Structure 1
Amino acid sequence: MGRPRKPLLSRARIVSTALELIDAEGLPALSTRRLAAELGVSGPSLYNHFATKNELLDAVADTVIAGVDVSAFGTGADWRTGLLAWARSYRAALAAHPHIVPFLARGPGRRPAGLKMADAAFGGMVEAGWPPAQATRICAAVRYFVAGSALASFARGFVDDPDAYDPADYPHLGQAHLLAEHQRQVDEGAFETGLRALVDGLALHRPARVPPADG
């Protein structure tokens, strides 16, 4: 029997299948045995492409981060425009794959896409006139905010049973049972409110040498 024209496995196929598994069932579901079964191959064959599970997770995480748009930095646009565009794209990428967020929260490590994102954001802020130490803290703050927003849902924290919130005990939660029904609106609105407050607050404390915003 001749050798197949195309290899049964590739790094891209392994990463894609691993991400699908994590999306569907969470990080604990990912194992060499389970992934091999999903791919229809033997477990040891995976090690020809990834030496360890962490190496595979790094590749999965980097695939997610590769979808983050940092193009607003370095275009000459106002620093606030760059920060807002980055944060929104970053959250969208993470919100689409929330189960990988705890792994991503460890930082970019040696992952190329993660490092390119960090380099673009930090470089964009420094080029806009922010001192490097402050630019580092700003990028870290955005990262914390985005990861938390993508990982959790405020609206889903409340049950849809109106009897769960007795006004005698919770006089201000009379409408809390309706939040879950409007999850996307609540969570996206909360993210935008917090992001705007963060950026507007930074604008109030920017160093004098930072160019003024365009509006």
Structure 2
Amino acid sequence: MARPRKPLLSRERIVETASVLVDAEGLEAVSTRRLAAELGVSGPSLYNHFRNKDEILDAVADAVSAQVDLSMFDEGDGRDWSTALHDWAVSYRAALTEHPNIVPVLARGPGRRPAGLRVADAVFGAMVRSGWPPAQATYIGALMRYFITGSALGSFARGFVDDETAYDPADYPHLGQAHLLADRQQKVDEGAFETGLRALVDGLAVQYAAMVRA
């Protein structure tokens, strides 16, 4: 029988299949047995490409990090550090909201993941070039990761039920409209993110101006 022109298995196929499972069913859906079944191969063949499930999930997370736009940090881009930081955060959150189930893995930090490390390197490098001391640039990178991944881990609006009887004004006098939040999830969550992001960047700008004057 003729050999197939393309190998039956590759890192890319494994990551793509695992990504689909994570997006559809969550992290718990990924196992070497399940992946092997989805790919139509034997379980041990996966170990030619990944040592274990954690490495596969790391690769899925890194594929999401690779979707984040970093062009605003290029030296010739022309945006100042605060605008670049804002625009990058918007791009980062957009990638995470497309793949919310992988956020807990991303929230652990980049580890050895190449795309994740490129993100960290780009943010740190841009802040230092702009005049932030290295320690402060590190704090800014950490702060932004906390804020962005935290915003993508859950939905404030989805935390309320679409049932006005659940919010008796005798008990919750200020939640008379809370039952409407679930239906307005995207608007509420995007508005909250932009409000928080502006507050963070504007606050950093105040610190930066004080630092420059000192």
Could you tell me the TM-score, scaled by structure 2's length?
A: 0.95
User: Which ranges of structure 1 fall in alignment gaps of 5 or more residues?
Assistant: none
Is the aligned partner of 1:132 residue 2:130? no
How much does 1:70 deviate? Answer: 1.2
How much does 1:108 deviate? Answer: 0.5
Q: Which residue of 2 aligns with 1:176?
A: 178
Amino acid across the alignment from 2:159 = G
How much does 1:79 deviate? Answer: 0.5
Amino acid across the alignment from 2:165 = D
Q: Find 1:197's aligned residue among 196, 199, 202.
A: 199
**C-alpha separation in 2, matches of 1:160 and 1:52:** 42
Q: 3-state SS of the aligned residue for 2:72?
A: coil
How much does 1:4 deviate? Answer: 0.9
Q: 3-state SS of the aligned residue for 1:206?
A: helix
How much does 1:210 deviate? Answer: 5.0
Q: Which residue of 1 aligns with 2:150?
A: 148
**C-alpha separation in 2, matches of 1:189 and 1:67:** 22
How much does 1:9 deviate? Answer: 1.1
- Residues 76-109 of structure 1 show CA distances to partners (whole Å, capped at 9, x for unaligned) of 3211111001100110111111111111111101
- Residues 176-199 of structure 1 show CA distances to partners (whole Å, capped at 9, x for unaligned) of 000000000000000000000000
Q: Which residue of 2 aligns with 1:101?
A: 103
Tell me whether 158-167 or 96-105 shows the greater mean CA deviation: 96-105
Contact 1:70 1:85 in 2 (8 A): no
Equivalent residue pairs, number = 211
Q: Superposed, which structure 2 residues align to 1:37-186 within 5 Å?
A: 37-73=37-73, 74=75, 75-186=77-188
User: Which ranges of structure 2 fall in alignment gaps of 5 or more residues?
Assistant: none
**Root-mean-square deviation over aligned CA pairs:** 1.3
Amino acid across the alignment from 1:55 = E
Contact 1:130 1:207 in 2 (8 A): no
Could you tell me the TM-score, scaled by structure 1's length?
A: 0.95
- Residues 161-180 of structure 1 show CA distances to partners (whole Å, capped at 9, x for unaligned) of 00000000000000000000
Amino acid across the alignment from 1:195 = L
**C-alpha separation in 2, matches of 1:207 and 1:70:** 25
Identity %: 74
Amino acid across the alignment from 1:201 = G
Q: Superposed, which structure 2 residues align to 1:2-13 within 5 Å?
A: 2-13=2-13
Amino acid across the alignment from 1:37 = A
**C-alpha separation in 1, matches of 2:204 and 2:50:** 42
Q: 3-state SS of the aligned residue for 2:21?
A: helix
Amino acid across the alignment from 1:159 = V
Q: Which residue of 2 aligns with 1:24?
A: 24
